[in-house]
Amino acid sequence: GQISDEELLEFLSLRGEGYLSVGRRVEAEKVLLAAAAIGEKIENAAESALIYLNLGRTCILLGKYREAVPVLEKSLEISVKINNPD
């Protein structure tokens, strides 16, 4: 049957991590960008924080330092909100 957005998010996140772990950085970036869009759409903060962290790491490994900074800041911002909901 049809997979849910949550399932797709988890699949893309894991696939991005997999690509990153074997050095396929360009593929990782594409997959993690798609995952980030879904994470925003369905408001899955915990998964989004991890996706943005991996996306930022991928940008750094690709030498895209200027792109990495706002992505890593977004990951940190989400993580802080999750851990300090006040």
pLDDT(84) > 90: no
pLDDT digits (tens, 9 = 90+) for 17-60: 999 999 999 999 999 999 999 999 998 999 999 999 999 999 99
Note the pTM of the prediction, 2 decimals. Answer: 0.91
CB burial readout 14-51, b (16+ within 10 A) else e: ebbbebbeeeebebbbbbbebbbebbeeeebeebbbbb
pLDDT(86) > 80: no
**pLDDT score of 68:** 98
pLDDT(73) > 80: yes
Question: What is the average per-residue pLDDT within 66-83?
Answer: 95
